[in-house]
Copies of this chain bind each other. A is one copy, B any other.
Amino acid sequence: MDLRADLALIRDAALRAVDPGQAVRRVLSCDSGVLRVSHEAWPIATGGRRLLVAAGKAAVPMAAEAAALLGPALTSGVVITKYGHTAGYSLPARLEVFEAGHPAPDAAGLQGAAAVVRLLETTTPQDLVLVLLSGGASALLPYPVEGLSLDDLQAATLALLRAGASIGELNTIRKHLSGIKGGQLAALSAPAQMIVLVLSDVVGDLLDVIASGPTAPDPSTFAEAWAILERYSLVEQAPPAVRLRLVRGVAGAIAETPKPGDPLFRTVHNIVIGSNRLAARAAVAEAERLGYASLLLSTFVEGKAREVGRVAAALARSLRVHGDPLSPPACLVWGGETTVTVRGRGRGGRNQELAVAAALGIDGLAGVAIMALATDGTDGPTDAAGAVVDGATLSRARSLGLDPYASLDDNDTYPFLTATGDLLVTGPTGTNVNDLLVILVAPDATL
């Protein structure tokens, strides 16, 4: 068995399973006047319009596939993606396309969001709105409520991040400053039927978190948003318009975001069509096909990359030394997304850091390889997707005079892995369902 060749096949299979166009095609079909999504059918020949809203880094391939499937049934729509992400696809002229800023939202994003709002403002119960969401949609659909500027939003976000607020806390604030997030896109398009196909870039596929949940009920409240400002002592520091908005919300002078149980969601159908778990399951299936006994351990793995890498190594070592939990040839897969607290001045990414930590833990083990992969092909601010390390990675490093601990301490794993020949470069994959870890152990202990 060639572990690195097999890891490449497993990687390809995983990425194919979450290809944005394929994911749309897998669930969506349209013929004889009936639109089908998975097992549900919507008659669309009885009047009304078929509107499309696509937002996110994969908006164009998803929209292209949907447009091809719907054909002339598609009335019109708006597509918003990141700069440079429209190349190579052709979309029908009745779709208005915007390229906008990401991760920092910009004026182009404002224009795109305004076009979405205009499109949905005039819907009727006969209309059907197909929404295609993918990673990045939150930044690409900025829609500050009246009285707030993009600068106000940015200032509030930055202050919260600097104060150490969590992503969940940040989202609570964002949803209460936006006219689209927190279920409000769904509210806008009511009473039309809404079908939302989601390519999830959030660990756990939480619909109220992905893209800041524009089509999902929002469990968070103005009161919680205000409490977050208080918690981080940002009441004084927040832009006046932000403060005013939240105060008025707490006082009940502004309507809350739509909550769980709101009847408006009766006509909204959110479906996750691509996710980390789908990719992970495809990886497991491919590994099985290649002859490895395989398990999917979890798709919820989070934590510090360096420490998570040690646990990955502990699993690999267990397979090799004891055959726990599987006898080799064996494969363990998990998914999620780790984090790196940047302290050094080097180059690297979370998957590269995880891989170097894992390499330390499998040093000297024969017939063991570990792949840490960012499914979007971009691991941290580098052109690498991650790395594939094995039991000889450290001996290669030692013979080059490289210190793995120093590379971790300086967050400088990119040059380390380049030198050991373990860097994994795929280029942008066109999708994003967080990260995958694949551990392969050969039947016998030969490197």
Say yes or no: is A304 at the interface (Cβ < 8 Å to chain B): yes
Say yes or no: is A291 at the interface (Cβ < 8 Å to chain B): no
**Segment with Cβ contacts to B, from A15-23, A124-132, A150-158, A292-300:** A292-300
Say yes or no: is A322 at the interface (Cβ < 8 Å to chain B): yes
Give CA–CA (A17, B311) in the complex, Å.
25
| Contact indicator A315/B297 (Cβ below 8 Å) | yes
Give CA–CA (A315, B302) in the complex, Å.
11
Give CA–CA (A336, B322) in the complex, Å.
14
Give CA–CA (A322, B333) in the complex, Å.
14
Residues of B within 8 A of A325 (CB): 295-298
Say yes or no: is A271 at the interface (Cβ < 8 Å to chain B): no
Copies of this chain, tallied across the complex: 2
Q: How many residues of A contact B (CB 8 A)?
A: 28
- Which of A204, A295, A314 gathers the greatest number of chain B CB atoms within 10 Å? A314
Closest chain-B Cβ to A331's Cβ sits at a distance in Å of 12
Say yes or no: is A233 at the interface (Cβ < 8 Å to chain B): no
Closest chain-B Cβ to A314's Cβ sits at a distance in Å of 4
| Contact indicator A296/B324 (Cβ below 8 Å) | yes
Say yes or no: is A317 at the interface (Cβ < 8 Å to chain B): yes
Those of A261-317 within 8 Å (CB) of chain B: 277, 295-304, 307-308, 310-311, 313-315, 317
Residues of B within 8 A of A308 (CB): 307, 311
Say yes or no: is A318 at the interface (Cβ < 8 Å to chain B): yes
Closest chain-B Cβ to A395's Cβ sits at a distance in Å of 15
Residues of B within 8 A of A296 (CB): 318, 324-325
Residues of B within 8 A of A297 (CB): 297, 315, 318, 324-325
| Contact indicator A322/B307 (Cβ below 8 Å) | no
Residues of B within 8 A of A361 (CB): 300, 302
- Which of A299, A315, A325, A361 gathers the greatest number of chain B CB atoms within 10 Å? A325
Residues of B within 8 A of A317 (CB): 204, 298, 300
* Given A307-B303, A307-B304, A277 and B314 contact (CB-CB distance below 8 Å): no
- Chain B residue with minimal CB distance to A277? B322
Residues of B within 8 A of A204 (CB): 317, 321
| Contact indicator B315/A298 (Cβ below 8 Å) | yes
| Contact indicator B301/A304 (Cβ below 8 Å) | no
| Contact indicator A310/B302 (Cβ below 8 Å) | yes
Residues of B within 8 A of A303 (CB): 307, 310-311, 314
| Contact indicator A314/B295 (Cβ below 8 Å) | no
Partner of A311, one of B277, B311, B322: B311
Cross-chain pairs A/B with CB under 8 angstroms, 10 sampled: A296-B324, A297-B297, A297-B318, A297-B325, A298-B314, A298-B324, A302-B310, A303-B314, A304-B304, A307-B307
9 nearest A-B residue pairs (beta carbon): A307-B307, A298-B318, A300-B314, A303-B310, A295-B325, A303-B307, A301-B314, A298-B314, A300-B317
